[in-house]
Amino acid sequence: MTLKSLLTSTALVMTAQAAAAEGSLSVYHWFEYIPQELVDKFEAEYDIDVTIDTYDSNEALLASLKAGTLGSYDVAVPGDYMVQIMAGEGLLDTIAPGELSNFGNIQPQWVDVAFDPGRQHSIPYQWGSTSFSVNRDVYAGDINSTAILFDPPAELAGKINVLDSQGEVMALASLHLGIPQCTTDRDQLRALDDLLQTASESWASFGSDIAKDVLVSGDAAAGMIYNGFSAKAREEGANIEYAYPDEGYVVWMDNVVLLKDAPNRANAILFMDFLLEPENIAAVTNYAQYAAGVEGAAEFTDPALASSPENTPREGAGPGAFIAVCDQATQEVYDQIWTRLRS
Amino acid sequence: MAAGTGSGRTISSTFAPVRNYLLAPSWLVIGIFLLVPVLLMLVYSFLTKEFRGGVIWEFSLAAYDQFLFDRGLFGDDPPKIEWAYITIFARSIVQATGATILCLLIGFPTAYYIATRPTKTRAVWLFLVTIPYWVNLLIRTVSMKFLIRDNGPLNDALMGIGLFDSPLQLINTNTAVQLGLFYSYLPFMVLPIYAALERYNFAFSEAASDLYAPKWTILRWILIPVVKPGIIAGCILVFVPSLGAFLAPDLLGGAKTFMIGSLIEEQFKGNAGNWPFGAAASMILLSMVLVVLMFYARAQARDQV
pLDDT tens for A223-269 read 999 999 999 999 999 999 999 999 999 999 999 999 999 999 999 99
In this prediction, residue A15 carries a pLDDT of: 43
B266 — pLDDT class (breaks 50, 70, 90) = confident
pLDDT tens for each residue of B75-93: 888 899 988 899 999 999 9
pLDDT tens for each residue of B149-162: 888 898 888 888 88
CA atoms of B302 and B225, how far apart (whole Å): 13
Beta carbons of A278 and A296 less than 8 angstroms apart: yes
**Distance set, CA B249 to CA B88, B174, B180, B223 (Å):** 12, 8, 8, 36
Strands (E), chain B: 47-49, 55-59, 69-70, 80-81
Contact call for A206 and B255, based on CB within 8 A: yes
B163 — pLDDT class (breaks 50, 70, 90) = confident
B232 — pLDDT class (breaks 50, 70, 90) = very high
Among partner residues B54, B74, B256, which is closest to A66 by beta-carbon distance? B54
pLDDT at residue A125 is higher than 60: yes
Interface check A217 vs B, CB under 8 A: yes
pLDDT at residue A213 is higher than 60: yes
Beta carbons of A112 and A150 less than 8 angstroms apart: no
Angstroms from A314 CA to nearest CA on chain B: 32
In this prediction, what percent of chain A has a pLDDT beyond 90? 85
- Of A315, A259, A318, A274, the C-alpha closest to A72 is A259
Judged on CB neighbours under 10 Å (0-12, 13-18, 19+), B165 is exposed
3-state secondary structure of B94: helix
- Of A118, A117, A146, the C-alpha closest to A134 is A146
CA atoms of A113 and B57, how far apart (whole Å): 36
pLDDT tens for each residue of A158-173: 999 999 999 999 999 9
Strands (E), A136-221: 160-162, 203-206
Same fold, A21-126+253-306 and A128-251+312-342: yes
In this prediction, residue A10 carries a pLDDT of: 46
Residues of chain B neighbouring A66 (CB-CB closer than 8 A):
52-54, 273
Contact call for A218 and B84, based on CB within 8 A: no
Rg (CA), chain A: 22
Complex ipTM more than 0.90, yes or no: no
Name the residue with higher pLDDT: A147 or A12: A147
Q: Tell me if A81 is assigned to a ligand binding site.
A: yes
Interface check B86 vs A, CB under 8 A: no
In this prediction, residue B9 carries a pLDDT of: 53
Q: Residue B124: what are its φ and ψ, rounded to 5°?
A: -65, -45
Q: What is the CA angle B231-B233-B238, rounded to 5?
A: 95
Among partner residues B54, B257, B274, which is closest to A342 by beta-carbon distance? B257
Name the residue with higher pLDDT: B12 or B278: B278
Contact call for A343 and B87, based on CB within 8 A: yes
CA atoms of A311 and A242, how far apart (whole Å): 9
Beta carbons of B282 and B261 less than 8 angstroms apart: no
In this prediction, residue B169 carries a pLDDT of: 85
pLDDT tens for each residue of B275-304: 999 999 999 999 988 988 888 888 777 766
pLDDT tens for each residue of A288-312: 999 999 999 999 999 999 889 999 9
CA atoms within 13 A on the CB side of A285: 31
Domain A21-126+253-306 - what CATH class?
Answer: alpha beta
Domain boundaries, chain B: 84-304
pLDDT at residue A4 is higher than 80: no
Beta carbons of A211 and A225 less than 8 angstroms apart: yes
Instruction: Return the axis-axis angle of helices B260-268 and A328-342, rounded to nearest 10°.
Output: 160
The whole-chain average pLDDT of chain B stands at 88
In this prediction, residue B304 carries a pLDDT of: 65
In this prediction, residue B164 carries a pLDDT of: 83
pLDDT at residue A13 is higher than 50: no
* N-to-C CA span, chain B: 14
In this prediction, residue B254 carries a pLDDT of: 87
Q: What would the CATH number be for the domain defined by A128-251+312-342?
A: 3.40.190.10
Query: For the residues A80-100, what does the mean pLDDT come to?
Result: 95
3-state secondary structure of A46: helix
Q: How many CB atoms are located within 10 Å of the residue A71 CB?
A: 11
B246 — pLDDT class (breaks 50, 70, 90) = confident
Query: For the residues A12-33, what does the mean pLDDT come to?
Result: 70
Beta bridge partners of A294: A106
CA atoms of B67 and B215, how far apart (whole Å): 50
Which of residues 170 through 209 in chain A touch B, CB cutoff 8 A?
Answer: 186, 189-190, 193, 200, 203-207
Give the nearest chain B residue to A85 (CA atoms).
Answer: B52
* N-to-C CA span, chain A: 60
Query: For the residues A112-122, what does the mean pLDDT come to?
Result: 95
Beta carbons of A251 and A320 less than 8 angstroms apart: yes
In this prediction, residue B255 carries a pLDDT of: 84
pLDDT at residue B60 is higher than 50: yes
B273 — pLDDT class (breaks 50, 70, 90) = confident
Angstroms from B99 CA to nearest CA on chain A: 21
Domain boundaries, chain A: 21-126+253-306, 128-251+312-342
B96 — pLDDT class (breaks 50, 70, 90) = very high
Judged on CB neighbours under 10 Å (0-12, 13-18, 19+), B305 is exposed
pLDDT tens for each residue of B172-192: 889 999 999 999 999 999 999
In this prediction, residue B168 carries a pLDDT of: 83
In this prediction, what percent of chain B has a pLDDT beyond 90? 49
Beta bridge partners of A122: A257
Total residues belonging to chain A: 343
User: Cα B105 to the chain's mean position, in Å?
Assistant: 16
Q: What would the CATH number be for the domain defined by B84-304?
A: 1.10.3720.10
Query: For the residues B240-250, what does the mean pLDDT come to?
Result: 90
Rg (CA), chain B: 24
Contact call for A218 and B150, based on CB within 8 A: yes
CA atoms of A77 and B91, how far apart (whole Å): 37
DSSP A265-309: HHHHHHHHHHHTSHHHHHHHHHHH-SB--BTTGGGGS-HHHHT-G
B272 — pLDDT class (breaks 50, 70, 90) = low
Among partner residues A63, A331, A335, which is closest to B268 by beta-carbon distance? A63
Residues 6 or more apart whose CB falls under 8 angstroms from that of B238 comprise B96, B99, B100, B103, B104, B185, B186, B188, B189
